[in-house]
Amino acid sequence: MNQTEKATVGGGCFWCIEAVYQRIDGVLSVTPGYAGGKSKTTTYKEVCTGKTGHAEVAKIEFDTNIITYKQILNVFWQAHDPTTLNRQGNDVGTQYRSVIFYHNDNQKDIAINSKIRANKSDYWKNEIVTEITEIYNYSDAEDYHNDYYDNNPNQPYCLFVIKPKLDQLIKNKIIK
């Protein structure tokens, strides 16, 4: 019997985060969305202005019998650069910030400890700037964002940003 939990993370464009987590054993679903903004609902067009306070995120539902929240976060640290403030590559703005939105106190504790361990790992040269905060003002993104990479693998952003990231994670045996 599946025991499920949700994790919500942002690490740049939600198309990238979604594509990564869709390739992880134990992940049941990944939904692009927006969280942490000034209002309960928003749109892609509004979020792209950088004025709503929302981050592009992925809501991940996973089977805790197969993968733990800690393991979800271990993938998160390697799936983006958590040392760049409000930026991932050419995606710049608060909507692309590195953020973990926790759903309960247990997730909060795990996230804080995970960030401490990641900072001590020497994997990155600079200090991790990832925000850790309780989930608020979350809404699902518009339907056309769902399965974006899988549905648009030849789109230039997918070819030049997402595919190289996936290839590197596959090479490092983080995803399959």
pLDDT score of 126:
95
Please give the average per-residue pLDDT across 165-172, as a whole number: 94
Convert the pLDDT of each residue in 49-91 to its tens digit: 999 999 999 999 999 999 999 999 999 999 999 999 999 999 9
Complete DSSP assignment for 36-76:
SSSSS---HHHHHTT-S--EEEEEEEEETTT--HHHHHHHH
Give pLDDT, residue 41: 93
- pLDDT-derived band at 1 (thresholds 50, 70, 90) equals low
Looking up tokens 């209002």 gives 39
Kindly tell me if the per-residue pLDDT of 2 is higher than 80.
Answer: no
Give the number of other Cβ atoms within 10 Å of residue 83's Cβ: 17
Q: How far apart are the first and last CA of the chain?
A: 24
For residue 111, give the nearest of 83, 85, 137, 131 by alpha carbon: 131
**Tens digits of residue pLDDT in 131-150:** 999 999 999 999 999 999 99
Average pLDDT, integer, range 14-22: 98
Residue 176 confidence class, pLDDT cut points 50, 70, 90? confident
Tell me, rounded to whole angstroms, the distance of Cα 2 from its chain centroid: 23
Q: Does the pLDDT at position 123 exceed 90?
A: no
The model's pLDDT over 145-165, given as tens digits with 9 standing for 90+, comes to 999 999 999 999 999 999 999
Measured CA to CA, the distance from residue 47 to residue 58 in angstroms comes to 15
Active site residues: 13
Q: Tell me, what's the pLDDT at 38?
A: 95
